[in-house]
Amino acid sequence: MGITYKLFFGANTLLAYGRMSFQRQIAYRTANLAGLFTNVFFLLFRGFALGACFAGREEIGGLTQSQTLTYTTVSQALLMVIPQWGRAEVANEVRSGQIAMDLCRPISFPAMFFARRLGGSFAFVFLRFPGVMLAGLALGFLSAPECSWGLLVVSIVLGALICHSIILLVELSAFWMESERGVRYFVLGLSAVLSGLIMPLHFYPEWILAISKWLPFEHGLYTPVRLYIGEVESVREALTMQAGWALVMISLSFFLFWLGTRKLTIQGG
């Protein structure tokens, strides 16, 4: 009964954190409208820029112009659902000593972090995704999905877990470094290139693709978009790779947080 109670209590607490994060995100109407406007602006910028690459050619790296414009729309719509940047506030809390309060809570900090971040991601499913997709449809950028929405939802959830884990791991470096900024700029810069955020990975040379396959970045944002445009040879293999990376990254997050707290010293304690 004791274990059952703790599991029930922990699940309810995590759901409460996720719900509060969702409600907090949807409360800022002006900021959400400004964010949607920014997403649509970059959809226009990226769409016309990448579309212009097809002048005089029918495909690049196996992608047609129609697939590329659809890719641009879907990746822009998922940009905040599967975030490529953000803060976990671990670094600031370690420097200020506030992390000691989190360690006193009856639930782990990484679990709270994932609950809060997933609550925010869920909010952006309503705040950004439909608006950007409709804008892409109105501009003639968007085509119908090449796989079922059920598989896409699974892939999006796994991609969000991977990207949130990357953000958390970046900030966990603060346990060992005075500042995590160097790690942040390096990792998130690498993520911007290898996640397909700037352009489809199909456009890159083969040697970059060979390196990318051994890193987690493309399995966050890139895989769900590839599923949408039908550029995945085996859906089962793609989802299995995502699930594997999500498990590895989440486990690593919990382990490094535990390892960091073992060496943490706050006011000589």
Question: pLDDT at position 10, please?
Answer: 65
Closest CA to 78 of 118, 114, 130: 130
| Contact between residue 245 and residue 216 where contact means Cβ atoms under 8 Å apart | yes
The tokens of 63 are what? 């992608």
Which tens digits make up the pLDDT trace of 22-80?
A: 898 888 889 899 999 999 999 999 999 988 888 878 888 888 899 999 999 999 999 88
d(Cα 88, Cα 175) in Å, to the nearest integer?
A: 13
Q: What is the pLDDT of residue 110?
A: 85
* Residue 66 structure tokens: 């129609």
How far apart CA 88 and CA 173 sit, in angstroms, is 12
Condensed to tens digits (0 to 9), the pLDDT of residues 177-212 reads 767 778 888 888 888 888 888 888 888 888 888 888
Give residues with Cβ within 8 angstroms of 253, minimum separation 6: 110, 165, 168, 169, 172
CA distances from 38 to 21, 43, 242 (A): 22, 8, 29
DSSP letter for 174, please.
G
Residue 9: pLDDT above 80?
no
Please list, in sequence order, all residues whose beta carbon lies within 8 angstroms of the beta carbon of residue 184, skipping any fewer than 6 positions away: 170, 171
- For residue range 247-265, list pLDDT tens digits in order: 999 999 999 888 877 766 5
Contact 155, 163 (CB under 8 A): no
d(CA 223, CA 159): 8
Q: Kindly tell me if the per-residue pLDDT of 88 is higher than 70.
A: no
| 83 close to 159: Cβ distance less than 8 angstroms | no
Residue 49 CB neighbours (<10 A): 11
User: Is the predicted pLDDT of residue 87 greater than 50, yes or no?
Assistant: yes
How many whole angstroms separate alpha carbon 116 and alpha carbon 27? Answer: 15
Q: How confident is the model at residue 102 (pLDDT cuts 50, 70, 90)?
A: low
Give the model confidence (pLDDT) of 216-256 as tens digits. 998 999 999 999 998 888 889 999 999 999 999 999 999 98
Q: What's the rounded Cα separation, in Å, for the pair 171 and 168?
A: 5
Q: Where are the domains of the chain?
A: 2-263
pTM reported for the whole predicted model: 0.88
Neighbours of 70 (CB within 10 A): 24
Look at residue 84 and tell me whether its pLDDT is greater than 70. yes
Alpha carbon distances (Å) from 231 to 210, 238, 242: 17, 11, 16
